[in-house]
Amino acid sequence: MLPELLAELPAWLVAGLGMGAVASCVVALVFVVGGRLFPTAPVDPAQRIDGTARRRAEIRSYLRAIGEPFAEDHPVHGRTVAFYLPGRDVAITFDAQAYFHIEREGSYAVLCEHEMPGAALGRRLPFEVPELDPRLDEMDDPIREAFELLGLGATASPDDIKRAYRNQVKEAHPDHGGSREEFQRLREAYTTAKSHAD
């Protein structure tokens, strides 16, 4: 039946279908061989940046920039919140149920949406926050985060950057009680800020 059907079709159509089938097989073979020769490294879920992770990084940077001590993933009244400001008894969470539970217990709770930029947190906090350098908002995220991690404004000089790095490296270095990750993050921030200084 198939040979009879093919005989009724024009020759150019049969040739096109045959070449398309051969080309599809060749492309599939290229992908299979390429996948074996150059395997994709497994994706570490801890390294993925989804909406929540991005917002947490922005809030972390904001709290550091305003000089507010905080604890991450901290229990408050039986609920774990994203950030807790121990000096002010303020809980910052993405979970609405935790928000209402903590509010009923008497602590001040801030509910953050996943779409809310980290810098918008200042309007929701129950205390005065220092004004951040508006030029930081104009910078790309990694550059802004580098300046914020060093506790500097966008107009910081190379000498200010070096001084801030030296002050913070004393605590962040693994030999002085810091973690490798914290030290690495500080070094990267120093390099980035230094290359973008006025």
Read off the pLDDT band of 102 (50, 70, 90). Answer: very high
- Asked if the model's pLDDT at residue 185 lies above 60, the reply is yes
Q: Where are the CATH 1.10.287.110 domain residues in the chain?
A: 135-195
Residue 141: what pLDDT? 65
Phi, psi of 71 (to 5 degrees): -125, 140
Q: Give the lowest-confidence range in 72-76, 132-136, 142-146.
A: 132-136
Alpha carbons 149 and 156: distance in angstroms, whole number: 13
Residue 8: what pLDDT? 83
Task: Give the CATH number of domain 135-195.
Answer: 1.10.287.110
Residues 143-153 have pLDDT tens digits of 777 888 888 87
- Asked if the model's pLDDT at residue 44 lies above 70, the reply is no
State the number of CA atoms in the 13 A half-sphere of 18 facing the CB. 8
Read off the pLDDT band of 85 (50, 70, 90). Answer: very high
Q: Where are the CATH 3.40.960.10 domain residues in the chain?
A: 51-123
Residue 83: what pLDDT? 93
Greater pLDDT, 152 or 50: 152
Furthest C-alpha separation in the chain: 85
* CATH ID of 51-123, from 2.40.50.140, 3.30.1120.130, 3.40.960.10, 3.40.50.1370: 3.40.960.10
Which contacts of 62-66 are long-range, i.e. CB under 8 A and separated by 24 or more positions? 62/118, 62/119, 62/121, 62/122, 62/132, 62/148, 63/121, 64/148, 64/149, 64/151, 65/132, 65/136, 65/148, 65/151, 66/122, 66/129, 66/130, 66/132
